Amino acid sequence: MLGAFANAFRTPDLRRKLLFVLFVIVLFRFGSQLPAPGVNAANVQQCIEGVKDDSVYNLINLFSGGALLQLTIFALGIMPYITASIILQLLVVVIPRLEALKKEGQAGQTKITQYTRYLTLALALLQATGIVALARSKQLLQGCERDLLYDNESVQVFLVMVITMTAGTAVIMWLGELITDRGVGNGMSILIFCQVVATFPAALWQVQATKGWWTFGIVMVIGLIIVAGVIFIEQSQRRIPVQYAKRMVGRKMFGGSSTYIPLKVNQAGIIPVIFASSLLYLPAMAVQFNQGQSPQPKWVQFLSDYFVGGDHPLYMALFFGLIVFFTYFYVSITFNPNEVADNMKKYGGFIPGIRAGKPTEDYLGYVLSRITLPGALYLGLISLVPLIAFAVINASQNFPFGGTSILIMVGVALDTVKQIESQLQQRNYEGFLR
């Protein structure tokens, strides 16, 4: 593998791409550590140590690499773009106009990408307003009574911070697109990877500092097993053979080739985990906004007992069930057996032993439903690892080897390595994956 890295840097154009990606990552991490105008950085750092592990902002803070709670210029991270992308994917299925744009090819996809950018900025503006408002009211960092801003009452400081964070999201989008165009791999995925990896050493060190070296060693062994399992599942796929009949076009013969349709076991990626996590943060937010009431309503106490902290069996069962549900839901809207069967029939393709048309559609739907079940169970079990670790060894709810973080790290790393490998193989070098 080290030889493959050396070969990658010996190739001039590939070396330039890799160095460009590293340069953008450095800029990105610098912006994630630079406080926004008007932020009292000293007070923020003192308050961060008291943040509870069950903070309702953990998901957004994860995707910002810890920048959210530090109120930096890149505090929102890539989360507005992720949310906008998911919303557009869902709207494509619902709105005929967007579905027609998707079928127009590159021109339609460019238009959808433009809509995604506009929606990202709108969501960033909304989220920045909420985050700065919470910082002014001292509700962003639980249990902290310090002033996070130099002037909490100034409207000017409020507007400058909101504009700065929104502009920071626009810069992140631009950096991601630069990596995609001039670097290696998907730019947005690489930036998400960097933000998740940025919090990984601190999470590991917290386990060692609080539970000792023995527990730290056990966590590392379990982590390696989890990583190996995630790699195995992420690489697993069901290949459905497709044969194309020969056909005459003018004086030339076309077709007669065979290929396959790869159906991944984890066809939905990490989207179901994000959906389920976001939905289960709503009860925690409701509890937070009603903490000051006295006496406390019974429904607030119920949510506080069962849905805050993540270590209650009811919470775990609901979390697992939502992941399974959203896995089937997302796969059903992203893979259309009817469309695939029609395209195969249009170009003379067929599955051996299956008639074209409706039988092919039914067969694809049957295989997809069967293969989605282990994928959904896999996502649910991986996502429960940090919750179980929190309940059993009380390491941290941000258990490093589990949940969204490990899925992102392994998935993006595999995809990037494959792209580098393909470029190396074009130059007759052996790749990373042998």
pLDDT in tens, 321-368: 988 998 998 888 888 888 888 888 887 788 888 888 888 888 988 999
**Same structural domain, 216 and 116:** no
Q: Which of 183, 215, 234 is the last residue of a domain?
A: 183
Binned at pLDDT 50, 70 and 90, residue 233 comes out as: confident
Tell me what pLDDT residue 170 has: 92
Instruction: Give the residue from 183, 212, 227 where a domain finishes.
Output: 183
As given in the structure block, the two tokens for residue 114 are: 């433009």
Q: Are residues 247 and 386 in the same domain?
A: yes
pLDDT band at 54 (very low <50, low <70, confident <90, very high): very low
For position 342, what pLDDT does the model report?
86
Check whether residue 171 and residue 208 sit in a common domain: no
- Flag whether 193 is in a domain: no
Same domain, 240 and 170: no
Looking at the structure, tell me whether residues 163 and 44 fall in a common domain: yes
What's the predicted TM-score (pTM) here?
A: 0.77
Torsion of CA 21, 23, 28, 32, to 10 degrees: 140
20, part of any domain: no
Asked if residue 204 and residue 174 are part of one domain, the reply reads: no
Would residue 147 count as lying in a domain? yes
Domain count, the chain: 2
73 located within any domain: yes
The per-residue pLDDT for range 375-403, each reduced to its tens digit, is 899 888 888 876 676 556 555 444 555 56
If you average pLDDT over each of 19-23, 183-187, 329-333, which comes out highest? Answer: 19-23
* 87 within some domain: yes
As beta bridge partners, residue 241 has: 260
DSSP per-residue string spanning 63-82: HTTTHHHHTBTTTTTTHHHH
My answer on whether 236 and 119 are in the same domain is no
| Residues 170, 61 share a domain | yes
Query: Is residue 374 a part of any domain in this protein?
Result: yes
Residue 330 within a domain: yes
CATH number at residue 262: 1.10.3370.10
Q: Identify the pLDDT of residue 11.
A: 78
More confident residue, 145 or 258: 258
Query: CB-side exposure of 423: number of CA atoms within 13 Å?
Result: 21
Q: In terms of domains, do 175 and 207 share one? A: no
Same domain, 179 and 206: no
232-261 b/e (C-beta count within 10 Å ≥ 16 → b): ebbeeeeebebbbeeeeeeeeeeeeeeeeb
Distance CA 256, CA 240 (A): 17
Q: Range of 230's domain? A: 199-427
Task: Tell me, yes or no, whether 332 and 290 share the same domain.
Answer: yes
Residue 85 lies in a domain: yes
Residues 237-290 pLDDT 10s: 888 888 877 666 666 666 567 788 888 888 888 788 878 877 777 777 676 666
Query: 313 and 412: one domain?
Result: yes
Higher pLDDT: 177 or 215? It is 177
